[in-house]
Chain A
């Protein structure tokens, strides 16, 4: 019924061997925790506390500003040390609440109260999810309560739990599915309550047989729950790839998953939903992988949101003796963000710290040659774009051709073309820049038109 995979894609070394079988262990942070008010797509939250306030774990410290925004709760108890701009993994300085952790983790009132979701109405479920400040935990950080309220709720056919984890090195979702399969199945049932016409599908790449087995066991007996083992290929976990595989529909720019009758959520998000609805626990902690070829003890942690990245590297034993780190990545090597230093907090949508002993990008820069037109980029593009032509158009600044003829704005920046290019050309990087430039021009033109009308 479902397809095995999508067209295109690449097979980078998945690096899962480092942390694949490391069971979750909870890590309790020391010292200060930093809570950026923008850990999601949309408007930043408004800080509700000021310097000197005492806070409890689970207490709301940032309130969503508008519908497309998300609450921020404290993950520890302690004293507010500062409300100031702090650097995040993206490199930007963001207004953050800094809390001096008292190490007690005293819970705020009402946290941890068990509830039966079957007794709750749709509004109550959505309300708890919104209150818990849950955002897409796979990377994008889109507020989940928005995603769960599409205009065409009746037409949703598939709720897809994204357990593909196609990004190399990262294994925290794998561990989550292995150890919390029952909770994930329950989480999916909660979502199915919101979308009665839909069925729930767990999409897992074939390189995680234990996770597949665990989820199949958890879903057994429930006709509305399915596990789909997809071929192991990057970017299998991309939203468009998933929808193509499950629903057989090709999304294009401007279309939402809901337009294809799908809602796609990361498995970590589904677990957070379960926690929020059934246990009244807001989003305070998450699974987190520390891995890489030079990490001493690669591990999967349950970390408090706001924990410093340098601390988690330390708890993973630091760098292996005699080795040196060349690159820190928040996330995995395909789409992760390179960190200049580790003094940044873990946000809701950060799932891993990957430390590499050598920087393939620096090496690639030395190996760059002219394009051979070998066509490998065209063959691997999961969207069927023509990166070679796009690069040419971008370099010549032929933006109309880039957008209209080559559909260049469709690029999802998965990086497959850059990965595979034998000439080591910075394809995807150029496309990102070009897209930003074209969008900026469009906004400027729009603003001008708006001004003229007045």
Chain B
């Protein structure tokens, strides 16, 4: 009698595809963008990528060891997380950034929830969001060759012209994996090998573009739309982040719902949000809804689907979704169009009110070409050397009813605020007395930094003529020109004082002397 053979339940063959293959496919798909990133940003980008991957793998390895679990690093999923995270980081960040990010992504988002397949949101993105919140300034400093500059989207928002081709190839500034071309190439590869399905990328990109076109304020400006797609994280998000199988819906219908919601949310954040990051948060939020989407989109099997007799099967879900999106879009755009004029009027009125507030004697405000030229000559660069990151934005001349100059309004900003830029209008009488300040952009911490907007702080500048205002600790000021800081908000207070000093300096040098 020969030996007994293995028995098992059918099927007795298996596809060659393993979890490791799936992960390696993703790594392969990310290579073009990685290569572009390293080529463009240089050696430092490569270091960031390698450190991020090493930290991710090591974290998982140590977690498995510590908890006595089977070693899971051979499935390569940690490498994917580390690589994805690194590609979402700005170049030249200190190395503790990728380490902390990978640690958070792997340890908290993945391992603590049960490891591969059990994380409730995309680990790499959770790592990025953790870093964005904890190290906001580092994460928003984009440097190429050691020089920090704006990202294409920031440039675009500021109204500067941006090269589409450069942005598409990833030769502008941005995160390491900012090459939309490279990402697209990888995404198409994944589509071909079946690593991802078309539903999510297509629905994300289409809904995102549609929303930007309707509400982005530039209409169907193809150049602008393409820049919005090529710059920023939407391509990365659509092909690599949103499609993370663990945190996206299973069924085709669910994937469409998810993709449309995600695209719209990302566009809303980008158009109306203040944070530079729109796609990451949109994906993280949509990840939270995946179990719900999955539950409502369990496919009806064979024999239970309704078929129209004779006619072709119509994808009702997809059509319904499109109709809803369209109706919502048209309704929203209608409201926006109706209110657009009013909003502009009100913004103008608010501006005028702020001028009036700081320059009470004037009844009419005009630009002076000579002064505007002087402001333009500053090129939007930091003003002077003694005022931190202060900028002079514009100068308006206030005149009385008979056309005599009664004062000037200088719009100045400081980039040193706790929560980004603070912009204010500083009113100056012709003799150099400050007649008042009023904030036009103030996003400081509520209850602390925001108190600089209160009269108690603002009024300290009113009616004072000084070459330079000096900031003291709360209660320390005694003479005119000495300012009591807001208690607990030294940074905000100092930013305001610096901006006012910049305005005074500009007034003395360029208006009084230059003018006379």
Contacts and interface: CB of A to CB of B under 8 A. Distances in A.
Given A360-B14, A369-B116, 17 more contacts: A13-B13, A250-B307, A329-B12, A334-B11, A339-B7, A341-B5, A360-B13, A362-B6, A367-B19, A372-B245, A375-B250, A376-B17, A384-B299, A407-B300, A422-B15, A422-B17, A423-B117
A82 interface: no
A8 B13 CA distance: 18
Contacts of A363: 14
A298 interface: no
A415 B194 CA distance: 19
Interface in B103-121: 114-118
A27 B54 CA distance: 63
* Max chain B Cβ within 10 angstroms of own Cβ: one of A255, A360, A420: A360
A81 to B, nearest CB: 20
A359 B301 contact: no
Q: Is the interface of B mostly helix, strand, loop or mixed?
A: loop
B2 to A, nearest CB: 6
Contacts of A371: 117
B298 interface: yes
B302 A12 contact: no
A359 B301 CA distance: 32
Interface in A321-347: 325-329, 333-343
B245 A374 contact: yes
A197 B284 CA distance: 59
A325 B307 CA distance: 48
B303 A250 contact: yes
A423 B75 CA distance: 10
A405 interface: yes
A419 B11 contact: yes
Contacts of A386: 250-251, 298-299
16 contacts: A252-B301, A334-B10, A334-B11, A335-B10, A338-B5, A340-B5, A370-B118, A371-B117, A372-B116, A372-B117, A375-B197, A383-B301, A384-B299, A385-B299, A415-B11, A424-B19
B8 interface: yes
A407 B304 contact: yes
B117 A384 contact: no
Nearest to B77: A372
A251 B19 contact: no
Q: Is the interface of A mostly helix, strand, loop or mixed?
A: loop
B21 interface: yes
A388 interface: yes
Given A337-B10, A338-B5, A338-B6, A372 B19 contact: yes
Contacts of A385: 299, 301-302
Contacts of B194: 376
B305 A250 contact: yes
A341 B6 contact: no
Given A333-B13, A372-B245, A384-B301, A338 B22 contact: no
Given A369-B19, A375-B197, A326 B298 contact: no
A12 B197 contact: no
B246 interface: yes
B117 A373 contact: yes
A380 to B, nearest CB: 10
B72 A361 contact: no
Contact of A336 (B12, B17, B307): B12
B305 A373 contact: no
Contacts of A13: 13
Given A333-B10, A360-B12, A410-B301, A422 B19 contact: yes
Contacts of A44: none
A424 B18 contact: yes
A338 B116 contact: no
A10 B305 CA distance: 22
Interface of A: 10, 12-13, 91, 168, 240, 244, 250-253, 255, 325-329, 333-343, 356, 359-364, 367, 369-376, 378-379, 381-386, 388-389, 405-407, 410, 413, 415, 418-424, 426, 428-429, 432
Given A372-B116, A389-B298, A418 B251 contact: no
Interface residues of B, number: 43
Nearest to A355: B5
A364 B10 contact: no
* Max chain A Cβ within 10 angstroms of own Cβ: one of B1, B8, B14: B14
A392 to B, nearest CB: 10
Contacts of B9: 338, 426, 428-429, 432
The 5 nearest A-B residue pairs measured at CB? A252-B303, A415-B11, A370-B117, A338-B7, A250-B303
A376 B245 CA distance: 10
Interface of B: 1-2, 4-15, 17-19, 21-22, 72, 75, 114-118, 194, 197, 245-246, 248, 250-251, 294, 298-305, 307
Given A328-B5, A369-B72, A428 B11 contact: yes
B245 A338 contact: no
B12 A373 contact: no
* Max chain A Cβ within 10 angstroms of own Cβ: one of B11, B14, B118, B304: B11
A233 to B, nearest CB: 14
B19 A407 contact: no
A429 B303 CA distance: 23
Contacts of B304: 250, 252, 407
A437 B18 CA distance: 30
A340 B7 contact: yes
Contacts of B250: 373, 375, 378, 386, 388-389
* Max chain A Cβ within 10 angstroms of own Cβ: one of B2, B5, B114: B5
Nearest to A376: B194
B67 to A, nearest CB: 15
Contact of A251 (B15, B18, B303): B303
A376 B19 CA distance: 12
Contact of A422 (B5, B22, B114, B298): B22
A419 B22 CA distance: 15
A388 B250 CA distance: 8
B6 A326 contact: yes
A250 B302 contact: yes
Nearest to B249: A375
B251 A12 contact: no
Contacts of B118: 370
A220 to B, nearest CB: 31
Given A338-B8, A340-B4, A12 B13 contact: yes
B5 A378 contact: no
Contacts of A252: 301-304
A418 B17 CA distance: 11
A418 B302 contact: no
